[in-house]
């Protein structure tokens, strides 16, 4: 069986902005790291979907990374969380050009074919 992993786009959930200075550029992925399909999960035929929540600081660092929707497999969840931690993001920006802390989530689908 060949592992197949799909990743969908990051969605903006929250950000620190004001009504007079709204977000005009949401958080965006600069370099998305594709998680490695854990060998043990492949060996045992484990598949699943994981949704990872994370926040991006104004300087682009990633924090508060956690699997909010578990696949039911600690192996798959850990692989997805690790991939988000190793990814790089451009922080959200307001109309005035101020970079702000913003949070988003990304789903990962681990499928064996």
Estimate to the nearest angstrom the gap between the alpha carbon of 47 and the chain centroid.
18
What pLDDT sits at residue 10? Answer: 41
What is the rounded CA–CA span in Å between residue 30 and residue 89? 5
Residue whose tokens read 């709204």: 22
What is the rounded CA–CA span in Å between residue 77 and residue 49? 9
Return the CATH number of the domain spanning residue range 3-112: 3.30.2420.10
List the strands of the sheet with 92-94, edge to edge. 23-25, 92-94, 99-100
- Is 90 exceeded by the pLDDT of residue 109? yes
- Is 70 exceeded by the pLDDT of residue 12? no
The whole model's pTM is what? 0.81
């Amino acid at each position: 069986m060949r592992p197949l992993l799909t990743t969908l786009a990051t969605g903006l959930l929250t950000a620190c902005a004001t009504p007079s200075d709204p977000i005009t550029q949401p958080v965006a992925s600069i370099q998305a790291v594709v998680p490695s399909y854990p060998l043990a999960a492949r060996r045992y035929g484990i598949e699943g979907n994981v949704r990872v929540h994370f926040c991006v600081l104004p300087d682009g660092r990633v924090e508060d990374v956690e699997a909010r929707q578990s696949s039911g497999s600690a192996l798959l969840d850990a692989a997805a969380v690790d991939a988000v931690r190793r990814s790089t993001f451009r922080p959200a920006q307001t109309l005035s050009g101020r970079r702000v802390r913003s949070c988003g989530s990304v789903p990962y689908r681990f499928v064996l074919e």
